[in-house]
Structure 1
Amino acid sequence: MASQDWQVYDRILELRTQWLTLIGEHWQTEQGQRLEYWRVEKADSVIVLPLLDQQLILARPTYRPGVQTQTLDFPGGRVAEDQSPSNAAIAILKRELGVETSAIISLSPINHKGWAINSSFSNQYLHGFVAELHPRTQLDRTYVGATYNASLSGIQSLLNVLQCLQCRAVLLEWHSQQKS
C-alpha cells in the first residue's frame, strides 16, 4: 500500500530543555486533512543486563514520580549527544552499580540498531546490552537492588516484579536470543 508522507504545515511551539524537546506542529495528511500534533523528543536510551555468575543484577529501586512508586529496574539511562550507546552502557554500569570498566568481560548489543519508541510523547531509540562481568567482581551491595538467576525460572520470577516495559523488552529479547 503506497501512501505519501505527511507534510508539516507549520510549527506552533518548540521548547528545548536539557532533558527533552517539546514540539507542537500542524501536519497535513495525504488526504489533505490538517492535524495538530504534539511530541516530545528525547535522547536515546540504554538498558544494560549485567550478568555475574549467571545472575542478572538489578540496580537498587528508584522512586518514579510518574507512577508514584519505587521500581526495580536494570541499569539504564540516556545516551549523551557525543556518546555511543556502548560507551553510555559502560558509564551507566559505573554510575548505577559501581562497576569498573576492567570488570566487564564482554559488552554485547542485544539490538544493533535500537528499537524505535515512538508515540506522541516519546520519540527515541532504545539500545539493549548484556554486560558479562568477571566472576571475581565484588559488587558494593548498596548499589544492588536484587539478583535473579538467568535461568528460565529466574527470568519468570523476575517478570513477576519487573514493571519497566523497556527493561522487560530487553530481558525478553535477550532470553529469546539465548534459546535460538
Structure 2
Amino acid sequence: MKIGKWKLLGEKTRFTTKWWTVVERDYQTFHGKRIKWFVLKKPDAITVFCLTREGKVVAINYFRPGIQKIVLDIPAGYMNKGETPLESAKRELLEETGFKAEKWVKLGKFAGNAQGDTLMLHAYLAMDGYKAGSQNLDHGEEIEVKLFTLRQLMQKIKQGKFVDSTRIAVAYLALQKLGKLKLSLHRKMPLSLTKEKIHGLDQKE
C-alpha cells in the first residue's frame, strides 16, 4: 500500500492541565478517509546519562504513578519556557541529584510516543560529573540518588529495574558513544560491555 502524510483539517482543545493539553484532531488520511485522533500536547523534555569522575552512572529511584511502582531511572524532566535543551538538562541534573558535569554531548532528539503525544526528548551524555550541592526537588518529587558502575547498570536493565523504554535506549546510546558496547555474532548476546577504561578510570565493581 502506498502511504503519505495525513492532512490536518481541524483541532479542538478538550482538556488542559498545568503541563498537558488534550486535543481532538480531525484528519484526512492519504487515501481520503476521515479520522478523529486524540493527542496530548506536551512541552519537550530532556534526559541525562551522567557519568561521574569516578566512573559511576548517576541514577534515580522514585515512584511512578502511571504504573504505581518504584523504578530506577536517569534524570529527566520537562523543559521550561525559554530554556535551551542543554540549559534544561543541566538544571534537571542539578535539581534532581545535586550533580553537575564538566562535559556534555547531545545523543539525539527522539519521540517518546509518536502516536499519542507531541513531546520530543532531548538526550544528553554528561561526563566528569561531580557532587555540587543538595537536591532541589519540586513539590511532590521524592527522589533517591543511586550510583552504579556501567556493568551494574546493565545488570539492572536486564533485571527489569529500568522500565522506561526511552531511558533504556538512551543508556545504550551513551554506552555506544563511550565506546563501551561491541557487537557479537552470538545470538543470545548481541551486545556486551567492552573492557576498556573510560577517562583512565577502571570500571571494577
- Interval of TM-score (by shorter of Structure 1 and Structure 2): 0.7 to 0.9
The equivalences for 1:68-147 within 5 A come to: 68-99=68-99, 103-111=100-108, 114-134=109-129, 137=131, 144-147=144-147
Higher relative helix content: 1
Distance 2:63 2:76 in 1: 14
Q: Which amino acid aligns with 1:85?
A: P
Q: Residue 38 of structure 1 contacts residue 120 of structure 1 at CA under 8 Å; is this kept in 2?
A: no
**% of aligned pairs identical?**
19
Measure how far apart 1:75 and its partner are.
0.8
Q: Residue 47 of structure 1 contacts residue 167 of structure 1 at CA under 8 Å; is this kept in 2?
A: yes
Alpha-carbon distance change, 57 to 134 in structure 1, aligned in 2, over 3 angstroms: closer
Measure how far apart 1:12 and its partner are.
3.9
Q: Residue 62 of structure 2 contacts residue 70 of structure 2 at CA under 8 Å; is this kept in 1?
A: yes
Distance 1:16 1:35 in 2: 22
User: How big is each residue's C-alpha offset from its partner over 1:91-147, in whole Å with a ceiling of 9 and x where there is no partner?
Assistant: 101110112xxx421122112xx1123434322111111222356x47769965322
Alpha-carbon distance change, 24 to 143 in structure 1, aligned in 2, over 3 angstroms: closer
Q: Residue 39 of structure 1 contacts residue 119 of structure 1 at CA under 8 Å; is this kept in 2?
A: no
Q: Residue 48 of structure 1 contacts residue 74 of structure 1 at CA under 8 Å; is this kept in 2?
A: yes
Equivalent pairs counted in the alignment come to: 171
Measure how far apart 1:149 and its partner are.
0.9
Q: Which runs of 5+ in 2 are unaligned?
A: 136-141, 182-205
Q: Which runs of 5+ in 1 are unaligned?
A: none
Q: Which amino acid aligns with 1:158?
A: K
Which residue is equivalent to 2:31? 31
> Which 4+ stretches in 1 moved above 4 angstroms?
1-4, 138-144
Instruction: Tell me the SS of whatever aligns to 1:27.
Output: strand
User: How big is each residue's C-alpha offset from its partner over 1:54-109, in whole Å with a ceiling of 9 and x where there is no partner?
Assistant: 110112x221111011111111101112111100011101110112xxx4211221
Alpha-carbon distance change, 128 to 176 in structure 1, aligned in 2, over 3 angstroms: same
Distance 2:13 2:36 in 1: 11
Which residue is equivalent to 2:152? 154
TM-score (norm 1): 0.82
Report 1 or 2 for greater relative contact order, CA contacts < 8 Å, sequence distance ≥ 6: 1
Alpha-carbon distance change, 79 to 174 in structure 1, aligned in 2, over 3 angstroms: same
Distance 1:20 1:138 in 2: 32
Q: Residue 50 of structure 2 contacts residue 129 of structure 2 at CA under 8 Å; is this kept in 1?
A: no
